[in-house]
Structure 1
Amino acid sequence: MGVLGSQGGAISFPSARLTVSPSSSQIFERESVSLSCEDDDGSDGWRVKRNTSRDAAVTCGAGWGTLSGSTCDISSMVPFDSGVYWCESSSASSSSSSSSSSINISVSGGSVILQSPVLPVMEGHDVTLHCQTKSPPSKLPADFYKDGSLIRTEPTGHMTIHRVTKSDEGAYKCSIQAGGESASSWMLVSGQQELPFSAATGLYW
C-alpha cells in the first residue's frame, strides 16, 4: 500500500472514488493523465472537476480534457493544468452537492519531479518516493528533503519510508546533481479509511 505503480491510486469516499493514472502528485509537462470517477454501484453519474489558476470548479470537457463516461483524459499536461481535481455528482444541485476526495496535481516544466502519493498514506504502511528525471537515465543518485532539511541520499533515486507515522507527514522534494531539483509535494498521513473533504478548497479537515 502506498508504493507507486502504473495502476493508479484510489481513495474511498461514501459515494465515489477518484482514480488517477499515473499515480503521482507531480507530472512532467506534455505527459498524459487519466482521471476516473467510480462508485460501488457502477454509476456513470459522476464528472471530474478542477480548480486551477484559471479554472474554478470547471467540469472536464468544458474547455479542458476529453470526457468519456466518468473518465477524463488530458493528452498533454501543461503547467496551467496544475491544481485540485475531484469527482462531483452530475445531478448535484448548487445547494446540495456530493463530492469525492481530491487529488492535487502539479505539472512541472523542469527536468526533475518527485513521484509521491496523490492520496493520504495510511499509518503503518510503507511508501516509496521516486526522484525522476525527464530524460534517461532515471535511476540516478538523489538527495531527498523533508520540510527543507536533507533526509538522506539514495544511490538509485528512490527512497522507501517503512511503517509510516504522522511524524512522516510533510513537504518532500528531491534533487539530482547536474539534473536539477523537483518542486515540493505534501505527503498526508492518515489513520482513518475516509477523510472529510471540501471540494471548494481542496483541503482535508
Structure 2
Amino acid sequence: MERSRLPLLLCLSVALCCRPSAAHLSVRPVSSQFFSGTPVSLSCWDNGAPSGQTLRRNTSLDVRTPCDHWGQTHVSFCVFSFTVPLDSGVYWCESRDEVAGDVINITVTDAPVILQSPALPVTEGQNVTLTCKTKAPPSDLPATFYKDGSLVGTEPTRHMTIQRVSKSNEGTYRCDISGMGESPSSWIRVTGYSPGEPTARPPPPDSTHMQLLFRLICHLVVFCPYCISTALLVLLYQHRARGGNRSVSMATDSTNQAEKGLAAEYDVGTVGVS
C-alpha cells in the first residue's frame, strides 16, 4: 500500500512545482511606438526568468510567424536591429499553440512625432507618464495630449503624468506638437489588482540566479517527499522485523518450556518404576 502511493506522490510534487505558467512579454525600450530604425528587443519571461516560450507576431505581411523569421534570436531575446513600419503589428508569447501571456500592439512609423506610452497593460493605482517625442532635435514647443479624440491638456515639457490610474483612464491616446506633426494613436489598457499584490512589475532580475533558485526549489519539493516516504518504509520494515523476531523468541521459549516439562515427567516416572 505504501509503495503504491510513492509514484503518485512524486508525480504530484513535479506537477505542482514545475507546471507551466503564463509568460510576460518584455519590451525594450519600454514603449508601444518607435521611430523607424530604432533597435527593439522582446522576450518572454516567467517569474523573473526566461520562459523558453515562442515569441510570435501578426503583421500586414505575416501571421503567427516566430522570431527567427523576422528578427535575431539571442539566448532568450528576440532583437530587431533596425525596425521598419512593416514591423507594426501584434506580438505575443505562445506555448503549445496557445497564447501564454500578454498580447501587445507595436507601431513603427516614419512620422516625426511618436507617443511613448506603456506597451503592456498598466495596473490600477500606478502613475503612468506619457511622453511626446520628436525624431528631430528637441525644441521648446509644447505638446498637446488627447484621449479618445478629446483634449486632455498641453504640457510645455512634453510629459504628461496620470496619477493613480483607474479604469476611467483607459482609452486611445495621441499627442501633437504644433508645426512638427501628430503621433499615431496608442491604446492604454488598465487592469485591476488584488490587495497584497504589487502594483508595478519589477524588471527581470539576473536570469542565471533565478534559474538556479528555481531548480533548487524543484529538487527540494520533488525529493523531500521521496526521502520521507523511504524513511517511513524503512521504519515500517524494521518494526515488522522486530515483531517477527519477538514471535520467534516467544515460540522458542514455549518449546523449551515444553521440553523441560516432558523431561520432568520422564524423571518422575523413572523414579516410580525403580
Of 57, 74, 80, 1:74 maps to: 80
**Contact 2:60 2:86 survives alignment (8 Å):** yes
RMSD over equivalenced CA pairs, Å: 2.0
Structure with more of its chain in strand, by fraction: 1
1:187 equivalent in structure 2? 188
How far off is 1:47 after superposition? 2.1
Hey, what's the Cα distance between the residues in 2 that align with 1:68 and 1:180?
36
Verify the 8 A CA contact 1:123 1:164 in the aligned structure 2: yes
Q: What 5-or-longer segments of structure 1 have no aligned partner?
A: 1-12, 195-205
- 1:1-205 alignment, distance < 5 Å: 14-40=21-47, 42=49, 45-62=52-69, 64-89=70-95, 92=96, 94=97, 97=98, 99-137=100-138, 140-192=141-193
Greater relative contact order (CA < 8 Å, ≥ 6 in sequence): 1
Moved more, 147-156 or 41-50: 41-50
Normalised to the residue count of structure 1, the TM-score between the two structures is 0.80
Number of corresponding residues: 176
Q: What corresponds to 1:202 in structure 2?
A: none
Cα distance in 1 for partners of 2:31, 2:143 equals 18
Whether the 8 Å CA contact 1:132–1:139 is kept in 2: the answer is: no
Give the secondary-structure state (helix, strand or coil) at the position aligned to 1:23: coil
Unaligned 5+ residue runs, structure 2? 1-19, 198-274
Greater helix content = 2
Relative distance call for 1:119 and 1:153 in structure 2 (3 A) is: same
TM-score (norm 2): 0.60
8 Å contact from structure 2 (residues 118, 188) kept in 1: yes
Percent identity of paired positions between Structure 1 and Structure 2: 55
Report the CA distance between 1:103 and its aligned residue: 1.8
The answer to whether the 8 A contact 1:44-1:69 is kept is no
Distance 2:99 2:185 in 1: 30
In the alignment, the residues of structure 2 paired with residue 162 and residue 106 of structure 1 have an alpha-carbon distance, to the nearest angstrom, of 25
Q: How far does the alpha carbon of each residue in 1:139-191 deviate from its partner, in whole angstroms, 9 at most, with x for none?
A: 64100001111111000101011111111111100000111000110111110
